[in-house]
Amino acid sequence: MSVKHDQTMFNPHAVSDTEARLYYGGLHSAPRLLYRTGKKWIQSCVLSPPDRSKELAPVFNYPITKVWNDNLGWEIIRFTTIDVVRFRAPEPLGNDEYGYPVLSPVTIWVGVFPGSVTATAAHDVAQILLDLLKVYQITDVDIDFRESFYMSKSGPQLLKPVWFRDPVVDVVSPLTPSLGLHISTRARPNTEGTMALYLAKGDGSNDLLGLSCRHVLIGRKEANVDYVCHPGGLLQDILLFGKRSYANLVQSIKVRIADHSTWVELWEEWQKDPANENDKYRSKIESSLEAMEALGALYEQVNKNWKRFNNRVLGHIICSPALRLGVGEQRFTKDWGIFSIDRTKLGDGFQGNQIDLGPKGGPDEFYIQCFSDNWQFAHDPLEHLLPLEGIIPDSLMHTPDMWDVKHEPSLVVVKNGNATGTTYGPANGPFSIVRTYFLDMSIHQTSMEWGIMNYGYKVGVFSEPGDSGSIIADLRGRIGGMITGGAGHTKGSDLTYATPFWWLLERIKANGFPDVHLGVVA
């Protein structure tokens, strides 16, 4: 008899092993349910697609959002992550039939380390939480406990961005100066992350700065103290591409060349058939041969110009305060660092803070996810670049000024990161509470984070390790926050966590950069 089965038999509050495994079917991290309140779970006879289509939904316009960020959330801080969410899944009708997707009650979704909490302990805490909610006149909220981890997502000139029909558009983005630069350090080339933003230092200088997470720039094994680069001291170089992202770039070009080569061979065979339209295949063959030539030239350029570390130096670390959680009145995460940027490295394609939406990004993809009466784009879709301007204030993070197709409040955001490229997701209204464990126990362990969800199991995750430092913006180009980590089980993240930029910019100004601003001059 397995230990898990034995615990289920003798623990009156434990869910069955089947429910534990299948209850969250559809979520990317495949978390395991430990305990929950709410309605009895009904299992279908077979694992049909609806059983695998549960997804997270954000919470706005609900009583708990008014008290969560200020008081309520901080009365329960013993766990790895605490999120306020809803779930969307097809309604079970019986006889293995399902109706339209419906929303669950608002749920306090508690993450615990596997094996650290029993079902009975979770039950006891849930009852305390339900009693606490009653104090705030909130009586229609469920409590779920699931097993979860918190994860940190940590020479030549760059090229001009290309238009969407360019043959290298699928692979060239990491080599352009648009936001989402893949960065690492000379000291730790196996650890990678993403540059968040370009910042102008101000104070009358023309200095250009880069922003990312401290845990991307400085290793966890180093002393957690404020870092400042002193004149004459040893410089800590920031590199474009770590070992993994450079290898991925080279491989992506090879794959595209191989794809075109395969199609050329097929079209040449089909062209021999008298029944086929030779002109159509001749045009396709010529187009693919041109693409192979362009990709081959790019491959040679990457191998020649970007292989050596010395050719990849973007700048050096200037300042990185000690990592702290639960900082200030808002109790956010202080995990940031500033580095210098060599302007000559950026080339003629530098256009300031713009997110590359990718070859498939554009107005249609944004519009599918979000609707607004005064909806409009501030970018040229042919260049698939979204200029960033302005900052999402705290108030709009909880009460958005945009709506989805059902005219419900919605805050759709986008990022371009090292690990997952360009992705979209819905931001949540109530901030999440994250508990992180470090070897250095002097670090405060709990902080508030802005949570971003995935768009269901078919779309993919919003972020993965390596995306730390990525900037998040809404579809109007307003800057929302910088990714610091994510939460999920072993298979991926269900939520991405970010530090709000309105708060982060205040901290940067107060830590040696009083005149820093976003008005970057190309």
Whether 257 contacts 356, CB under 8 Å: no
Distance between CA atoms of 441 and 107, rounded to whole angstroms?
31
HEC profile of 94-114: ECCEEEEEEECCCEEEEEECC
Whether 321 contacts 214, CB under 8 Å: yes
- pLDDT band of residue 36 (cuts 50, 70, 90) is very high
Share of the chain above pLDDT 90, in %: 39
Distance between CA atoms of 211 and 217, rounded to whole angstroms?
10
pLDDT value at residue 3: 37
The SS3 of residue 502 is helix
Question: 190-235 pLDDT, tens per residue?
Answer: 999 999 999 999 988 889 999 999 999 998 889 999 999 987 778 8
Do β-strands 479-488 and 495-500 pair in parallel, antiparallel, or remain unpaired? antiparallel
pLDDT value at residue 94: 62
Query: What are the φ/ψ torsions at residue 52 (nearest 5 degrees)?
Result: -110, 20
Query: What are the φ/ψ torsions at residue 272 (nearest 5 degrees)?
Result: -75, -20
- Selected residue with higher pLDDT from 276 and 111: 111
Partners of residue 417 on adjacent β-strands: 421
Distance between CA atoms of 449 and 483, rounded to whole angstroms?
9
- pLDDT band of residue 342 (cuts 50, 70, 90) is very high
- Selected residue with higher pLDDT from 458 and 421: 421
Distance between CA atoms of 12 and 360, rounded to whole angstroms?
50
Average pLDDT, the chain: 83
Q: Pick from 486, 506, 479: which is nearest to 436 by CA?
A: 486
Kindly state the average pLDDT of the residues 298-322.
Answer: 92
Written as one letter, the residue type at 368 is I
- pLDDT band of residue 444 (cuts 50, 70, 90) is very low
Comparing 47-56, 108-117, 348-357, 413-422, which segment has the lowest mean pLDDT?
47-56
| Highest mean pLDDT (candidates 2-16, 125-139, 149-163) | 125-139
Distance between CA atoms of 497 and 430, rounded to whole angstroms?
12
Q: Does the structure show a pLDDT above 70 at 443?
A: no
Partners of residue 195 on adjacent β-strands: none
Written as one letter, the residue type at 484 is T
pLDDT value at residue 437: 52
CA end-to-end span of the chain:
67
Q: Does the structure show a pLDDT above 60 at 366?
A: no
Query: What are the φ/ψ torsions at residue 29 (nearest 5 degrees)?
Result: -85, -5
Q: Does the structure show a pLDDT above 70 at 369?
A: no
Kindly state the average pLDDT of the residues 473-501.
Answer: 84
| DSSP per residue, 138-183 | --S-EEEEEE-EEEE---PPPPPP--TTSTTTTT-GGGSSSB--EE
* Tally of CB atoms within 10 A around 348: 11
* Angle between helices 243-271 and 278-305 in degrees, nearest 10: 160
Kindly state the average pLDDT of the residues 115-119.
Answer: 84
Q: Does the structure show a pLDDT above 90 at 386?
A: no
pLDDT value at residue 132: 86
Please report the sign of the dihedral spanned by the C-alpha atoms of residue 165, residue 166, residue 170, residue 173.
negative
Contacts of 114 (CB under 8 A, 6+ apart): 32, 147
Kindly state the average pLDDT of the residues 395-413.
Answer: 88
